[in-house]
Structure 1
Amino acid sequence: MNSPHVLKIENDLRVLSLEELEWLLERIAKQVQERKQIVNKFTDVKYMNEQLVAMASDLDIKTEIHSINHEFQVTEMDGLEKL
């Protein structure tokens, strides 16, 4: 996992002060936790279902769906039977 980019970063870290390294370490740890939370949210089926329920009851989304359905209403009357 030591790509050339990571090795360059490691070399660049050597010039930082202890305070800068500690600050950077805290920032990296925070970003890692945020990414883990995002990944966990999207792999959590319960969370996804809650989001779908929220979207289904959102007035703006309902309005947009109605607008799309209205726009394609003529196209749906093309004489083709539903499969």
Structure 2
Amino acid sequence: MKYRVYFYYDPVYQGYVADALDLPGCVSQGKTLEEAKQNIKDAINAYIEVEYEKSAEDRSYHLPEESFIGEIAVG
């Protein structure tokens, strides 16, 4: 599956923050963009593993589906 990830540079941390937008609370960081990319992959895999365990216990729980970003013209 693919997940949308928002990367941004944090001048206080002096590195990059990665936020998996479809997975609430799934955030990581790295001193370089490449490190942040690898760390968020690891975080996503760990997040999914925990969520699958939750879904096995509670059949009404579902992981978020793959999403996308679109554009809308207004006015």
TM-score (norm: length of structure 2): 0.39
Larger radius of gyration: 1
TM-score (norm: length of structure 1): 0.36
- The structure where helix makes up a greater share of residues is 1
Larger RCO, structures 1/2 (Cα 8 Å, 6+ apart): 2
- The structure where strand makes up a greater share of residues is 2
